[in-house]
Amino acid sequence: MTRTASATTRRRVPPAGDALFRDTAANIGRSPAAPFGRDKPRPLGITVYGCAPDEADLFQALAPRFGVSATTIAAAAPEAGIVPVPGNRCVSVAHKSPISRPVLAALKESGVDYVSTRSIGLDHIDLRAAEELGITVENVAYAPDGVADYTVMLLLMAIRHAKGIVTAAQNRDFRPPNVRGKELRDMTVGVLGTGRIGSAVIERLRGFGCRVLASDTRGQGPAVAEFVSLDALLAESDVVTLHLPLDAGTRHCIGRRQLAALKPGAFLVNTGRGALVDTAALIAALEEERLAGAALDVLEGEDGLFYFDCTERPIDNPFLLRLQALPNVIITPHTAYHTDRVLHDVVTATLRNCLRFDRSRADG
């Protein structure tokens, strides 16, 4: 079973009237290690895998407020080495590593019934295996502003050729670039996918005075955008930015045919998922100078590269090497979401998810 829970973005702790919070109010401020007597049962436990130091600090700070005992583990959930914590039926995982059938089976064997991923996307989890094993999987929804801000930043960097300017300046070459930049007010931006993040991008583009086109199978989004077909969006946009979830229907939704349909000299921005784009086809379009540039925060085959220090080991991803060699391609390591606000949203939503699941089992 897959469910989506929304994170609270404007309050740092739940209000006193929140049912989940009210029922655990007696445990507020209690250290996870504090003893519990017979009349005070042990708080609900959650094991958090792939936990960065700042995440661990926040889990330890917020968990007692929800009456939850959080065990944080720096390592991701591997196929071997699951850490069983007695009584912890809930676990939280990051999106940085795949949660395969063997991992899920190991979790189930250790007594886990519930997995919360600290991400919007679920494409790193074997959902069919989870269902067959009787494990409930849930994602979190966080405020879209951080990713939307980052998307607009990458878009501006692409159309102003920021990669070449910054690189030259770092090498003490302070001449203006050979190619002049473009201004957004003179451009048409196509937004593919108008969920929470895509809609937030559209709202930000309003202030630049550009024409905004949008395409989404749901046909929903801000009224300031002009909704058109995908073919029309590709043909008319100077910049296309991707904000679709990754699934079987959207994988390589920007392929050879779609890239060929783009206006000559267009830019592509992707802060969604790497596999939305046929990367081989994108590289061909860039090397043949049919596109003016690309700004990518996600990439096919990024697992094992992004989030790791690769300065002293060879890169075995040919896509990454070819893209980095191009002067008009900006690559960042899947960090559009990486803000303090999102961290707070995600940790809060994870704890609430765990409580909600436990309540549903108790009431069921």
Residue 27, φ and ψ in degrees, nearest 5: -100, 5
How far is 282 from 240, CA to CA, in rounded Å? 13
Rounded CA-CA distance 193/144 in Å is 13
**Contact, 163 vs 327, CB < 8 A?**
yes
Residue 311 CA to residue 109 CA, distance in Å, equals 38
Burial of 25 (0-12, 13-18, 19+ CB in 10 A): middle
CA-wise closest residue to 250 among 201, 215, 290: 215
Residue count of the chain: 364
User: Is 131 designated active site?
Assistant: no
Give the Cβ contact number of residue 40 at 10 Å: 12
Residues 135, 77: Cα–Cα separation, whole Å? 15
Residue 212 to residue 239: CA distance in whole angstroms: 10
First to last CA, the chain: 15
Q: Which of 273, 300, 344, 352 is catalytic?
A: 273
Closest by Cα among 220, 298, 313 to 254: 298
Give CB contacts under 8 A, 24+ apart, made by 23-26.
23/67, 23/359, 24/66, 24/67, 24/68, 24/355, 25/67, 26/67
Based on C-alpha coordinates, what's the Rg of the chain? 23
Q: Is 273 a catalytic residue?
A: yes
Structure tokens at 160: 């102003």
3-state secondary structure of 271: coil
Q: What distance in Å separates the CA atoms of residue 4 and residue 148, rounded to the nearest whole number?
A: 20
Q: How many helices (H) and strands (E) would you count in the chain?
A: 12, 13
> Which residues have CB under 8 Å from 229's CB, separation 6+?
215
183 is catalytic: no
Per the DSSP assignment, residues forming a β-bridge with 192 are 215, 242
Q: Which of 138, 302, 344, 352 is catalytic?
A: 302
Question: Which token pair is 90?
Answer: 């809930």
The set of catalytic residues is: 273, 302, 334
